[in-house]
Structure formats: structure tokens, C-alpha cells
Structure 1
Amino acid sequence: MSTAGAGEPGEWGGVLAPRLAQFAAVAREEHVTRAARALGVPQPTLSRAMARLEADLGLALFARRGRTLTLTTAGRDFLAHAERALAEVGRGAEAVRADAHPETGKVAFGFLHTLGSETVPGLLREFRRDHPRVRFALVQNYGEWMLQRLRAGELDLCLTSPVPDAPDLTARRLDEQRLRLVVPDDHRLTGRRRIRLAEVAEEPFVTLEPGYGMRRMLEALCAEAGFAPRIAFEGEEAETIRGLVAAGLGVALLPPPAVPRPGVVELNVTAPRAVREIGVAWVAGQQETPPVAAFRRFLLGRRGQLLAG
């Protein structure tokens, strides 16, 4: 490839990156034979690589005096950039190696907002009894967003609901959580402990936005009960939804709270069976680092015991 063929910085990187360490070695040794010996490559191979590098750049990087080489002005400038690039690659390699270390590595872990106040802190506390130095990058969001981050390689594992069924992901059910109908504390049903969902078919609902797993569950359960919910307000977080219910703006179907909230009453739903499954998901076939594998085994060992409430 000549200089005419290289345009964007990314294209130059692809052309030049394999030769940076060779160039830096020749610059340090000021001698191709000694540099070739240090690198463990044949001297003719290294000479051709340096000639090709200069041809690609369209610049002389070395002034040649017999077998001795000295850097030109352009060569000194390029060496400074090459050494910074090589140092950055070295730091990157050390960082990813550190993240994969069995004892001190990192796990990128995603989970639902509703699991963040008690469930996940309790899991992390228990896991770190045996793995006290493993680090975590924690992300809270709704299920579909986390599955996208899994596929993009930004998360190692996530706790989500509903449990995904996709060919590129592996998922395991860990537990289930009963959903409750949340009503204002002055609602006509507050004297009841149990209700059928059909009894609130005419009520306005406060719920999570489309795309959230709880929203899909609400619509599916209401359909099973014989009606379509009338959505009055949409939000992004369960406790905000409870606040809207407490303000008298509607009723909601939600998992139980970590701490009871004043202003609302939570009723058990007897029909249809209102539960959500919680599972752990990861990318199918992806090689795991030791800390990720250890945490996944720990989560799978908590089947049926994941949730506090």
C-alpha cells in the first residue's frame, strides 16, 4: 500500500501498527542486524519492513551510513508517536489481563432497578466472602437494554425478567417473584387482601414504559383476565410508579417493594397467576474470564433462593 492508499487515521493504523515495534527496535539499536537479533526475526525481513514503512509514509525515517542508521527529523518525530502508541497498547494489555485475574478481576454485571436495593447488594456481599478482591462494574436498567449491552460485549452477565429465549444468549431461571396490585390507601379495595385482576378492569393504570418487561407482563396478564389496561401514566422506575399511585393517579402491578411505602396498599392477585421469573443471561459460547465464571456459578447456585421477598 502506498501513501495514496491511506486516508483515514484508522486506515493508517491498520497499515502501520504491525511495524511500530520493529521500527522502535531499529531506532533504539541504530543497526538493523542487532535489532533483528533482538526481535528474533531474519535481518532481510526487517530491512524490507523498514523500506516498506518509509515507502508507505513517503518519508525517509533513517539516514544510512554503512550499516549504521540514525533517525532523521521525521524519524525522531515518528518514534515519539510510535513509543506512545506502543505504551498505550501495553497499558491496554495489562488492564485486560488484570480484569481477567481470578482473584482481582472484574465482572460487568447488569440488573433490574427493582433488584437494586436489597437483592443485588446481598448477593454481592455473599459472593465476596469467598472472593473479597473481585471488582464489579454495576449497571441498572430495564431488561431489553441490558440484553443489548450483553450482545455488544459491555456486560458479562445480567439479572433480568422475563428470562430471554434467544439463540445467541444462554439464560437460566433463578427464581420467581409474585406481583401485587398497588392501590392508593383510600381506594375502594383497601379492605381486601386478595383480588382478581378483572376487578380493576375499569381503573386507570400507572405502569412502566413500553419495552420494559413489567409493561409486557401487565398487558399479558390483563389480556388473560379479559381486558386491555387503560394506561394513564408511564414511568421508568417502580418506586416512582408507587408514588404516582399514592397520589391517586391510578393503580399498578408491581413486584413487592424492598421497604413498604406509605400511601399505598398492596394486594395479592389470585387470578390470573401473577408472577415474574428472574433469570441470569449471558452470551452463548462466549469465553468467560475466571471471575465471571465464578460469579455465574455462584448465581446458578442460588436458584430458588435469589429473592428476599
Structure 2
Amino acid sequence: MQVTRADIDAESWAALLTPRLAQFTAVARHEHVTRAARELGVPQSTLSRAMARLEEDLGVALLARRGRSVSLTPAGRTFWASVEKALAAVEQSAEAVRADADPATGKVAFGFLHTLGSETVPGLIRAFRADHPRVRFALVQNYGEAMLDRLRAGTLDLCLTSPVPDAPDLVARRLDEQRLRLVVPDDHRLARRKRVRLAEAADEAFITLEPGYGMRRIFETLCAEAGFTPRIAFEGEEAETLRGLVAAGLGVALLPPPTVPRPGLVDLTVTAPRAVREIGVAWPADRPDTPPVAAFRTFLLTRRGRLLA
């Protein structure tokens, strides 16, 4: 059965016409089939048949022929203007992806947890760029599950996250661990202590990150190991905000150590259960790396045990 123009949808039009667009552009620019064929390195007869088929598929005359010379019809001029823009966009996109993959000047889309953003990540990038000074970074701060979704969607190349994911479509490696502290106001009943068992805070109101955050899962697991279900007073999205709520006397929190100590708070070492969170790097299992991404991943893996130093 012959397919008519009415049967062709937008996607099929693109597949049908794309191979002939550069040929049409050459003919339109030279207004001469032989010269266009010479530029493209194809026989003149092949190019003539391609242009005739293009017009047949479109159902519109694009060229007015005078021997081997041609001129554009009004429809041909309209079509050529659009084709030129489309081919220019394709060329720009090709140059952009080539530039991103350049070993010396390419780009790494790198995600990380908010709590690693003030010191850890800037230090890592500074150390990496000592040997790769022109590599560019697109940085994304988010919680773990959101970053894993972006890895799968292809908008991130690598991410630092916690807990270290275990998923068949991702590769993950443990890099380091970070001790968690019980954070209390400086006038709290436990504030004069240096160490505390988590069970000693079982009756407290807790301030914690929202469900879906890796730290929330770690917090709930540690509370279960300590033998209690925590009473949640407030949920938030960012550790420093939680610290502010603790300083206001609204509860206690289990958090990574702060970059800069905050007045009005005391951070207590948790002796039982062992309160740590593992930090790992993750990337898609089935996606080939560009040279700059491969170089940065290798750099991160060499930092095992020293990521948070």
C-alpha cells in the first residue's frame, strides 16, 4: 500500500526529509545542480533524482529548472530559510556536545548533597582542577533520590550521595563516612555531656529532614536500633534550617557536623548505636563516559577515606 502525505505524521516527516536537507541547501545556494553535486561529492544524476523525490514527497515545487541551472520558487525560498535555521541548530548542538566531551575543556554535570556544598565539593573541584584547569562543571545540589533520578534521566554524570545506592541500573562506590551528632540547645538537659546514647533522647521531640531524604532513612534506622520510634516535631529540607530550629528550643536533631559552629547549640557524640552516614559516588551503569567525566570519577575514587578530610 502506498503511503500518502496525509498518512505521514510530524516524526515521520523528519525521518523522511532529513537526509535530503543538506542536498537541497547546496542546490539552493549554488542554483546549479552540477556544482552542488560536485560540492557534495555525489553524481549529478543522483542529486537531481533526490531533489525530484523531495518535491514529490512535499507535494510542492521548490525549484524552477532551466537545464542544470535552477532557481528557487517562492515555496522553495520559504523552505530554504527554515532548512538553513534547522541545519545551523544541528551544527551548534553537535559543536556543543563535542566541546563538552573534550578531554581538556569538557563539562562534568556533578550532583551532591547540600551538606557537602560549603567545603567538601569546592575543595574537591579545586584539587581536581590543579591537573585539569579548564574542565567545566555544572553543579546541582539536591537530596539523594532526586539526584539518582537525574542520573537516570541523563542530566547528571556523577553524584555524591548517602546512603550509597544499591540499584541494578547504577554503579556506586563508597568513598567515606561521616559521624552524626545529636544536636541540642545549649540549655538542654544533655548539653553538659560530651557523649550520649541515642536512647537517652527517646522522649525528645525531633527535628529532621523530610521523608525521601537519605538522612531521614538513616535517622529512622538508628532510632529503631536504639529501641524507639522518634516523635517528629518538625520536618525540613536543609540541615542548617534544622539547626536553627534546634537553637530556638523546638527540639533536637541528628545531623552531620556543621561547617561552622552555630551559637546556642551543642553537638554530642553518639556512642550507641554507631551513628554514621556513608558517602558514595554513583553513576549510570550503561552510559559511556566522556573523557572529563571519566577523569573526575577516577579522581573521586582515589579520595576513598579522605573525601571529608
For normalisation by structure 1, the TM-score amounts to: 0.96
Shift of 1:104: 0.9
In the other structure, the counterpart of 1:215 is 216
Q: Secondary structure at the residue paired with 1:159?
A: strand
Mean Cα displacement is larger for which, 46-55 or 247-256? 46-55
Alignment of 1:196-275 (within 5 A): 196-275=197-276
Alignment of 1:31-50 (within 5 A): 31-50=32-51
Q: Deviations over 1:166-187 (max 9, x none)?
A: 1111111100000011111111
- The ranges of structure 1 where at least 4 consecutive aligned residues each deviate by more than 3 angstroms after the TM superposition are 42-45
Mean Cα displacement is larger for which, 110-119 or 40-49? 40-49
Shift of 1:7: 4.0
Percent of residue pairs identical: 78
Shift of 1:30: 2.3
**Aligned residue type for 1:145:** A
In the other structure, the counterpart of 2:7 is 5
Shift of 1:62: 0.5
Shift of 1:64: 1.4
Q: Secondary structure at the residue paired with 1:129?
A: coil
In the other structure, the counterpart of 2:195 is 194
In the other structure, the counterpart of 1:83 is 84
Name the Cα RMSD after superposition. Answer: 1.3
Contact kept, 8 Å, 1:2 with 1:57, in 2: the verdict is no
Shift of 1:84: 1.0
Q: Secondary structure at the residue paired with 2:178?
A: strand
Structure 1, gaps ≥5 residues long: none
Q: Deviations over 1:181-215 (max 9, x none)?
A: 11111110001111111111111110000000000
Tell me, in whole angstroms, the C-alpha distance in 1 between the residues paired with 2:117 and 2:36. 56
Alignment of 1:1-309 (within 5 A): 2-8=4-10, 10-308=11-309
Shift of 1:11: 4.3
Change in 2 beyond 3 A, CA 1:82/1:101: same
Contact kept, 8 Å, 1:32 with 1:46, in 2: the verdict is yes
Aligned length in residues: 307
Structure 2, gaps ≥5 residues long: none
Change in 2 beyond 3 A, CA 1:288/1:168: same
Tell me, in whole angstroms, the C-alpha distance in 2 between the residues paired with 1:300 and 1:144. 21
